[in-house]
Amino acid sequence: MQLGPNNIASRAIADVITGPQSQQKPRRGGFGLNKVALTIVLIYLLVPLAATLVFGVAIGNGIDFSALKSTFTDPDLSTTLVFSLELALATTLLAVILVTPTAYWVQLRLPKARPLLDFLSLIPFAMPAIVLSVGLIEVYNGTNSPVINVLSLGIVPALANLKIVNTPPLLVCAYVIIALPFVYRPIDNSLRAINTTVLTEAAYSLGSGWWRTFLTIILPNIFPGVISAALLVFSTVMGEFTIASLFGLYTFPIYLNNTGQNDPHKAAILAVLSFIFTLLCVLGIILLVRIRRSATGQRGAQIEIAAAR
């Protein structure tokens, strides 16, 4: 379950912004069908947001900014927001660092294993988050199951001894699993688009080793795909509720939910703030990609949100 408008916001924005090369210059003048469609989409996206904001500051027939003031003075806001940010950054980093070299290696050395990886990356879609969280808690709470011990090659009992159940590190690991489809798909698509094998062989023939080839040749060319993956992971974690709730950790979506139950005006303001915050993060990342792209003159690479879906 994803709470808050973060996901919707980031995905919608990323859908709209698909890179400078793909955008055709609109003809000046006239009021074409495209502009009508764009206006309808903007109304569809902005009216609920505006209505939420109006509801947040409206008391009866008047406007009252006390809810806004109390939102900013609430110490839980910054605490949970920073905590969720930390979780999101840690998950994004871990997921990208784990998946990018793996996808490259599979593409290069084990192309026959790609269907297996495709299947594995889809499992999180099929598995409800509640099953994942209950399973994680069950496995890591110290229950000594010989089957799990053997299947995990002894890793689970070793980690269980560290008492990581219901802790942020285990939550990050769970988030990495949830985010797998979002991180694997864009990276895999980018790797397929750049003729990975030939570029790698060209680098090898010039004396480059595997890691140097990966970092200096492959990564810069799949950078938009990696950023796209990072964007999706980030927004997924910022809005994740179920697992955090079952872990008993106080994240921003849980704070949002609690506030909504006690003070709906404050919750509305928080929803708008959350949207603006995610919007700024996403725009920042997109700006980064564009600056980089115009610096390298690279063409054709687009943020592949659609592919990730």
Partner 1 sequence: MAFLELENISKYFGRNTAVDHIHLAVEHGEFLTLLGPSGCGKTTILRMVAGFEVPSEGYILLDGDDITQRAASKRPMGMVFQSYALFPHMTAEQNIAFGMNIKHVPRETIQKRCAELLELVGLGDKGRSYPHQLSGGQQQRVALARALAVEPKVLLLDEPLSALDAKVRVSLRNEIRRIQQQLKMTAIYVTHDQEEALAISDRIAVMAKGRIEQLDQPEEIYSNPRTVFAASFVGSSNQFSGKLESAAQGLCKAGSHLLHVPPTSSLKDGDAVLVLVRPEEVTLKEAEGQDDSDTNTTGNHIPGVIDLRTFLGPFTRFHIRTEQGDSLTADIPSQQARDNFVAQHVILSFAPEACQVLPIDSEEAKLVKQAEAEAV
Question: Least distance (Å) from partner 1 to the CB of residue 222?
Answer: 10
Distance of alpha carbon 2 from the chain centroid: 12
298 contributes a contact to partner 1 by CB under 8 A: yes
Only segment of 63-71, 216-224, 245-253, 274-282 that touches partner 1 (CB under 8 A): 216-224
> Nearer Cβ to partner 1, position 56 or 224?
224
> Nearer Cβ to partner 1, position 163 or 212?
212
Tokens of 134: 């209950």
- C-alpha–C-alpha distance, residues 155 and 170, integer Å: 13
209 contributes a contact to partner 1 by CB under 8 A: yes
Question: Least distance (Å) from partner 1 to the CB of residue 227?
Answer: 14
Is the dihedral angle over the CA atoms 269, 275, 276, 277 positive or is it negative? positive
Tokens of 303: 């943020």
Only segment of 36-44, 99-107, 150-158, 297-305 that touches partner 1 (CB under 8 A): 297-305
199 contributes a contact to partner 1 by CB under 8 A: yes
Question: Least distance (Å) from partner 1 to the CB of residue 22?
Answer: 15
Burial pattern 84-96, b for ≥16 Cβ within 10 A else e, equals: bbebbebbbebbb
208 contributes a contact to partner 1 by CB under 8 A: yes
Tokens of 65: 């900014």
202 contributes a contact to partner 1 by CB under 8 A: yes
Only segment of 82-90, 200-208, 226-234, 282-290 that touches partner 1 (CB under 8 A): 200-208
> Nearer Cβ to partner 1, position 142 or 300?
300
Residue with tokens 């996808």: 103
Tokens of 137: 């808690």
Q: Which of 147, 198, 248, 262 is in the footprint of partner 1 by CB under 8 A?
A: 198
Burial pattern 239-276, b for ≥16 Cβ within 10 A else e, equals: bbbbbbbbbebebbbbbbbebbeebebbbbbbbbbbbe
* Collapsed DSSP state (helix, strand, coil) of residue 4: coil
> Nearer Cβ to partner 1, position 152 or 298?
298
Question: Least distance (Å) from partner 1 to the CB of residue 295?
Answer: 10
Number of residues forming the site for partner 1 (CB under 8 A):
22
- C-alpha–C-alpha distance, residues 146 and 144, integer Å: 6
Only segment of 48-56, 57-65, 147-155, 190-198 that touches partner 1 (CB under 8 A): 190-198
Nearest Cα residue to 237 out of 172, 282, 167? 172
Nearest Cα residue to 173 out of 119, 122, 124, 225? 124
109 contributes a contact to partner 1 by CB under 8 A: no
75 contributes a contact to partner 1 by CB under 8 A: no
112 contributes a contact to partner 1 by CB under 8 A: no
Residue ranges in contact with partner 1 by CB under 8 A: 194-195, 198-199, 201-209, 212, 217, 220-221, 296-300
